[in-house]
Structure formats: C-alpha cells, structure tokens
Amino acid sequence: KNQVEQSPQSLIILEGKNCTLQCNYTVSPFSNLRWYKQDTGRGPVSLTIMTFSENTKSNGRYTATLDADTKQSSLHITASQLSDSASYICVVSGGGSQGNLIFGKGTKLSVKP
Amino acid sequence: AAGVIQSPRHLIKEKRETATLKCYPIPRHDTVYWYQQGPGQDPQFLISFYEKMQSDKGSIPDRFSAQQFSDYHSELNMSSLELGDSALYFCASSPGPDQPQHFGDGTRLSIL
C-alpha cells in the first residue's frame, strides 16, 4: 500500500536552533518527493521538489535530502525563526495525471522565542 | 507573482443547501486539482482537470461535481450539503500534469 509516514508528529524548538524532520515512504512507482510548508488555514507552499536522482536540494534555510534506496527523506531547517512555525508536509508523487500524490500527515513545528 | 486565487475564502451553509467554490489558476497553468482537508487531516484528492477535461477522479462524492472552463478557471459544485462536508477545500494548479502543484489558500466551508 502506498504510504508516506512522517516523524515526529510535533516538535517544539527554540528560535535560532536547527531541526530535522523525517519522511519515510512506500510509494511505487516513484516520480518525485516534495516538501510543503502549510501555515494554519492556508494552502501548502512548496519548499523543495526532488526526483529519483537528486540527493539534496536547498531553498534558503531549508535543506532536503533524499535516499531513494532506503526511501527516506529529511528536511533540515537551520537557524529557525518564529515564522517557521507551521506544518511541514512530505508529499510523494507516483506519476500520472494527478501525480498520484500521497500526502504525509505532516510534522507540526512550533518555534518558541 | 500571481498565485492561485480561490473564492470565497469562507462560506457558511446549512444542511441540504448547495455551494459553489471557484478557483482561478496561475496564468498559463492548464491543470487544476481540488482537495478536501478535514480538521487535522491531510488533503484528500477530489478531482483534477487538464485542458478543460476531467483527467483524474479521487474520493469525490456523487453530490459534488466540477468543471474547468475555457479560461481555465474551475468551479466545484456541492449539493445536498452534509455536516461532514465542513472542511477546507483547496485548489491547486500546475503548468501540466505531474508538474509541481501550487496551492491556493483554500475555501473554508462550514455546514451548520
């Protein structure tokens, strides 16, 4: 069964600290993996998109890694800011017209001053 | 940069009423997707359109219908509304199938 599992479910860190969010998937076939940031009541905003051949991709303070062999991805946030407080959703695409997107349940990150 | 526009942002309806949600994709995006996100849930895919034709169908109830118009905007029509239809309804657009999707801010539908 195609699944995307994220950990931890929630995380509280102090402003300025780094953190790493995990995503494990069992989606086949695999097209790409995306990390989205979703503020409460807002639409998900794309942070990174990685294909099978990409190991790492950065977007400012966000760095995503992908290990296609172990089917694991991580999102590392450096020097966290209060505005980083949001849900971070890992989405895996199996290809196709809808992209066959499989959404993880997200990690709720709270950055405290 | 232009984003996906959804209207209305908030909508309150009573049971058995009808509702129409609208989505205006990013210019030159020909693919539109609709998602339903219940409280604390991940988005559930409802339906998608590519070049004004339905391209894929997910867990969309028979009470709902949708279409994409010649200007590429899309409307989700919902009838015989039920309490369980209360959710955030997101629209996303992409420049083609299996291209990265850009999400709107959603329409929050509340059924009383």
Checking if the pLDDT of A1 tops 80, the result is no
Strand-pairing partners, residue B22, are: B7, B75
Question: Closest Cα to residue A74, out of A2, A7, A10, A9?
Answer: A7
Q: How many CB atoms lie within 10 A of CB B96?
A: 11
Which pair of tokens denotes residue B111?
Answer: 């059924």
Which pair of tokens denotes residue A20?
Answer: 């790493």
pLDDT score, position A100: 63
Least confident of B57-61, B86-90, B97-101: B97-101
Residue type, A94: G
Mean per-residue pLDDT, A39-47: 84
B1 near B60, Cβ under 8 Å? no
DSSP letter string over chain A? Answer: --EEEEE-SEEEEETT--EEEEEEEE-SS--EEEEEEE-TTS--EEEEEEETT--EEEETTEEEEEETTTTEEEEEE-S--GGG-EEEEEEEE--SSSTTEEE---EEEEEE-
Give the B-side interface with A, CB within 8 Å: 4, 33, 41-43, 45, 48, 50, 55-56, 58, 88, 90, 92, 94, 97-98, 100-106, 108
Chain A residue closest to B97 (CA)?
Answer: A97
- Average confidence score pLDDT of chain A: 90
pLDDT score, position A39: 87
pLDDT band for position A25 (cuts 50, 70, 90): very high
Give the separation between CA A111 and CA A80, rounded to whole angstroms: 7
* Strand segments (E) across chain B: 5-7, 10-13, 19-24, 31-37, 44-50, 53-57, 64-68, 74-78, 87-94, 102-103, 107-111
pLDDT score, position B99: 76
Q: Does A89 touch chain B (CB under 8 A)?
A: yes
Q: Scan residues 27-46 of A and list those with Cβ closer than 8 Å to B.
A: 31, 34, 36, 41-46
Which pLDDT tens digit goes with each residue over B23-49? 999 999 999 999 998 887 878 889 999
Checking if the pLDDT of A98 tops 70, the result is no
Checking if the pLDDT of B55 tops 90, the result is no
Give the separation between CA A69 and CA B86, rounded to whole angstroms: 40
A74 near A23, Cβ under 8 Å? yes
Radius of gyration of the CA atoms of chain A, in A:
13
Nearest to B56 among A93, A97, A103 (CB): A97
